[in-house]
A and B are shown apart, each in its own frame.
Chain A
């Protein structure tokens, strides 16, 4: 019964999405306020109905109702309740339902928080969100019905992929979707602006918080995904250039560009056309990402739904949403008011340069991801593109990004001279090069040295920026501190995010250049060596978990003879799915991670043990978290609060 309520709610949700799409758009074109207002109510109705459907599906998982097909295929009575609930989005149908739930959430948020928006703009934004909602709900109802029944119902479910039974992964899709789908707001705002034919600083101020929110969650989602791959997949890698990873990375790259170009629109009213294009492209890449994962068009470690019918549906959605938006763009963008000029050497110039670099980086990832498909289409050869292509093509572009990141903040808006900025960074350039040279020579790695040098340059430029801004050394310390305290939150956000990038550069460089590995077959009591550390297999125990049995290996670690405690690894066997997973033993540290993975016991009682030394590994994810938190800090800036400019003005006058 609950199941049927869910399905009915889903169908009703599609109808309210349709109302949300048609009525406000029509009202906006006829300038009828009553019709335009329908958008908000419909958006809230749509959210309520989808939440109800989602709750119904979740209750089917919670009560292990195996007459529901996806519950029977993906759950099991023995599974802990937490993973029963998270299994709701652990497969195709449920994850698409989560997708529309997030879409409706953003639509309702615009309805609730966008009261200050001009009526027509708001109506059009909601209308376009409604169109997207209608398409995705139709996709779910017609190709991926989560409430489909199974008759006769099996008495026990088929379990759940134990690899996915992990708190990190349970939180991964919702976070990623908040990012992916959040970008739809930037898309809707851009298309609405193109229809209205008006883009101004106020428009950018409305859009930026949404882009920033989406970007923060996308950053968080990608970071978590990478961390999960590191500790759960048992490979010790953190990024594989897998098509599904690329699917989330490409929107992130363009969203990063968009974030900065929208800043230029807000502050300088330049780059308007460019920002509109980026908004549409970002969401296009989100849709293509969905296409990639859901259609099974490319082979991937992740691909779990191979179904051409779904692929065709999503392809039609890409054509409708992006094709439609880009056509409107082609027709209308030229009629928008032309922006004020700026010199190539200026803050805007630097942001544009980095935008272009990020776009090229996206193109590189895109080409690498789809190259097998293109070659197959043109020559019908089957090929695959390995990580070496991505590494060699991507790294140099990122070096360019770092250089511009270091200089950009030093430049003034509109027009500046290159020479003072260069002079101000020259000592830094010299010392960063020296640092890179030394680390490169000591570590005997060209790319290691280059990466460390560039990372140091970026870090130094941030410090230099702070020194200049707080007039440190020019005025006394208390005045400098006072200047630092007057920084708006968005400035702190900028610093945290750029610092995060520098930290990640160090981590990525160290992991790429200086990771070491050794493999050995050892028996109980024997010792394996990696670098100056030894690992002795102390004990092998059998432990029972809630739905698995584990073989736990304990290793004593010592470095140059002095003991450093122990590390445990597990191999878990899940009888219900007859699957074994590896829980690698990881000792995280500020400067290095020790990583131990063990294979199964061979006939003579020896275990194949893989030891890894991962220098600065935590810096990769710490950098990602710093970037995301920088975004969240910026988001809390009062300038982003609706209607805030007036209040800020008023209080500052009162204080004066």
Chain B
């Protein structure tokens, strides 16, 4: 495009192109940089404010165990539930694992797992080795749900009310303290809410 314009004006010596055109690249760079700067100001930890009280995004994840029904929105309706994002590659997930098993056994809440960014089979092997606390587990190999949820790292846990809306997001491992002081009170409160 530039050269086409140059051709017409070649005879009129050195001032070939209009000045605004020469400024276009640097202007474009400024616009792009502004978007990047915005991207950097997005603190991943501030995300709860945008996802909280929103309905869980539409999803349907292939089950970890072959042959099981997929994990989908319908699994989250009617009961207060927790969705835990984990991966066999994630050391902190192992930290919270014993606590999750305790929660799963207590039956206080429906606990579902999302196996994130794992190669086929790795998540199932990991659960086979350390125990499976989840009622249902879906695979999110391509981060489809993780991106919708704005997951920035594993583990992350979402507390979802009976209507399928996200009510709380826990970033990082669930310790005994987090469970008894933060999550359990929230779950109790949600369970007492009228539907």
Q: Give the B-binding residues of A (Cβ under 8 A).
A: 161, 233-235, 270-271, 273-274, 277, 280-281, 284, 288, 291, 295, 297-299, 301, 306, 308, 311-312, 315, 318-319, 322-323, 326-327, 329-331, 333-339, 341, 352, 356, 370, 372-374, 376-377, 380, 382-384, 521, 571, 573, 577-582, 597-600, 602, 608, 610
Contact in complex: A295, B40 (CB < 8 Å): yes
* B residues in contact with A352, CB < 8 Å: 3
Chain B, residues 34-45, CB within 8 Å of chain A (1/0): the string is 011111111110
Given contacts A235-B119, A374-B35, A521-B66, contact A334 B16 (CB under 8 A): yes
Docked pose: A280 CA to B22 CA in angstroms: 13
27 intermolecular pairs with C-beta atoms under 8 Å apart: A233-B119, A234-B119, A273-B6, A273-B16, A326-B26, A329-B22, A329-B25, A330-B25, A333-B17, A334-B15, A334-B19, A370-B32, A373-B36, A373-B39, A377-B35, A383-B147, A571-B125, A577-B91, A578-B88, A578-B91, A578-B94, A579-B122, A580-B126, A581-B122, A598-B121, A599-B66, A608-B121
Chain B, residues 167-190, CB within 8 Å of chain A (1/0): the string is 000000000000000000000000
* Listed stretches B71-79, B99-107, B148-156, B157-165; interface member: B148-156
Docked pose: A610 CA to B10 CA in angstroms: 63
Min distance, Cβ B146 to any Cβ of chain A, angstroms? 7
Which of B17, B36, B120 interacts with A597 by CB under 8 Å? Answer: B120
- Give the interface residue-count category, chain B: 35 or more
Which of B17, B32, B141 interacts with A334 by CB under 8 Å? Answer: B17
Contact in complex: A330, B26 (CB < 8 Å): yes
Docked pose: A335 CA to B32 CA in angstroms: 27
Given contacts A334-B17, A380-B50, contact A326 B3 (CB under 8 A): no
Among residues of B, the one whose C-beta sits closest to the C-beta of A573 is B125
* A residues in contact with B91, CB < 8 Å: 577-578
Docked pose: A31 CA to B16 CA in angstroms: 30
Which of A315, A338, A370, A383 interacts with B14 by CB under 8 Å? Answer: A338
A to B contact number (C-beta, < 8 Å): 157
Contact in complex: B125, A299 (CB < 8 Å): no
Contact in complex: A323, B126 (CB < 8 Å): no
* A residues in contact with B191, CB < 8 Å: none
Contact in complex: A299, B152 (CB < 8 Å): yes
Contact in complex: A330, B22 (CB < 8 Å): yes
Docked pose: A377 CA to B43 CA in angstroms: 13
7 closest pairs, A vs B, by CB? A599-B121, A326-B26, A600-B125, A330-B22, A297-B39, A384-B147, A377-B38
Min distance, Cβ B10 to any Cβ of chain A, angstroms? 5
* B residues in contact with A373, CB < 8 Å: 35-36, 38-39
Contact in complex: A274, B38 (CB < 8 Å): no
Contact in complex: A610, B120 (CB < 8 Å): yes
* A residues in contact with B2, CB < 8 Å: 273-274
Docked pose: A577 CA to B44 CA in angstroms: 26
Contact in complex: A582, B33 (CB < 8 Å): no
* B residues in contact with A377, CB < 8 Å: 35, 38-39
List 12 additional contacts besides A319-B33, A373-B38, A376-B38; criterion CB under 8 Å. A235-B141, A273-B2, A281-B25, A295-B40, A311-B40, A319-B29, A323-B30, A326-B25, A334-B15, A579-B88, A579-B89, A580-B119
* A residues in contact with B143, CB < 8 Å: 299, 301, 384
* B residues in contact with A299, CB < 8 Å: 143, 146-147, 151-152
Which of A318, A338, A356 interacts with B1 by CB under 8 Å? Answer: A356
Docked pose: A319 CA to B32 CA in angstroms: 10
Contact in complex: A308, B43 (CB < 8 Å): yes
* A residues in contact with B41, CB < 8 Å: 308
Contact in complex: B40, A308 (CB < 8 Å): yes
Docked pose: A339 CA to B3 CA in angstroms: 9
Docked pose: A573 CA to B121 CA in angstroms: 12
Docked pose: A607 CA to B43 CA in angstroms: 42
Contact in complex: B36, A297 (CB < 8 Å): yes
Instruction: List which B35-63 residues lie within 8 A (CB) of chain A.
Output: 35-44, 50
Min distance, Cβ A580 to any Cβ of chain B, angstroms? 5
Among residues of B, the one whose C-beta sits closest to the C-beta of A335 is B14
Docked pose: A331 CA to B50 CA in angstroms: 44
